Amino acid sequence: MAPISYSAPVNALLQLGEEHIRSREEWPDYPKLYGFTAEHIPDLIQMAINQDLNWAPSDSPEVWAPLHAWRVLGQLKAETAIEPLLSVFHVMEDSDWFSKDMPNVFALIGPAAISPVHAFLADSENAFYCRWTAASILVKIGQTHPQVRTDCLAILEQQLEQYSKNSPMFNGVLIANLMDLEAQESAPLMERAFAAKRVDSSIAGDWIDVQYGLGLISQAEIYDLRRQVDAEKLRSKTSKVAANPPKGFGAEPSKKKKKR
């Protein structure tokens, strides 16, 4: 890896290593601890998106520098970092730390991130897991800034309205994110997606699970609905067997009369 140099205090992040790393939610106050200000934003952006650093040897302190940098950018509410960070989603897709931190980073930056993240989410050319991260960002922004919750919710709904074109897994992600926003008002749209059999239930569960998660049905109602679903499945299976009698080795013995 070529030598990398940054001015102080940004260069301190190169040797910080795993300090402050283990908590995903409780980050230290970097500006207060290290003296970061708005003038350091350009260098912090370059560090955050530097691929030599992001994929440095896992046992080196430098590999953690971009993570510290993007957290500082969030705390500085660096709106100029929005597009540069979005531009590396495709190369950071396999980084667990990146995908887990981005919702918090963008939520700290604030509502200014909504429009660019919306554009990224709406682009079906972007990779599935990158779009998943974008959707999670909108959820976190909506949770952190209640005044724009309806804006974030509307964007997620707009994507789910395309459930017939979306993959079932992506629809499952959108429904899970709407549930995180406690979007009871989105229930009719979710129900239509489930009715069309366009939702992968491995992510947010089936329609019964979703209704319960949104607080629309009680635990007792779940049992009744499950029994109804099981009974319907049994009737459907019985009807299919009756309509398609077994053949070959599974066929019933012939009842033809013997010749005398």
Least confident of 79-93, 147-161, 180-194, 235-249: 235-249
| pLDDT per residue as tens digits for the range 107-138 | 999 999 999 999 999 999 999 999 999 999 99
- Please identify which residue in the block is written with the tokens 């992600």: 173
**Looking at this protein, which amino acid is placed at residue 8?**
A
| C-alpha span between 25 and 5 (Å, rounded) | 29
| pLDDT per residue as tens digits for the range 147-190 | 999 999 999 999 999 999 999 999 999 999 999 999 999 999 99
pLDDT of the residue at 238: 60
pLDDT of the residue at 2: 47
pLDDT of the residue at 1: 47
| pLDDT per residue as tens digits for the range 20-77 | 776 666 899 999 999 999 999 999 999 999 999 999 999 999 999 999 999 999 999 9
Give percent of the chain above pLDDT 70. 85
Smallest CA-to-CA distance from 116 within 144, 86, 139, 90 is with: 86
Q: Helices (DSSP H) in the chain: which residue ranges?
A: 30-34, 41-48, 51-54, 65-75, 82-87, 96-109, 114-122, 128-144, 149-160, 168-180, 187-195, 201-204, 207-213, 219-243
Higher-pLDDT residue of 115 and 229 is 115
| C-alpha span between 54 and 99 (Å, rounded) | 13
| DSSP summary character for residue 181 | T
pLDDT reading at 203 higher than 60: yes
Read off the pLDDT of each residue in 66-90 and give the average, rounded to a whole number: 98
Read off the pLDDT of each residue in 93-115 and give the average, rounded to a whole number: 96
pLDDT of the residue at 19: 78
| Confidence class for position 256, pLDDT limits 50, 70, 90 | low
pLDDT of the residue at 20: 78
SS (HEC) of 56-91 = CCCCCHHHHHHHHHHHHHHHCCCHHHHHHHHHCCCC
25 burial (CB, 10 Å; 0-12 / 13-18 / 19+) is exposed
Tokens of 209: 């699970």
Q: What is the pTM of this model?
A: 0.85
| C-alpha span between 140 and 151 (Å, rounded) | 12
Contacts of 5 (CB under 8 A, 6+ apart): 11
pLDDT of the residue at 150: 98
pLDDT of the residue at 128: 97
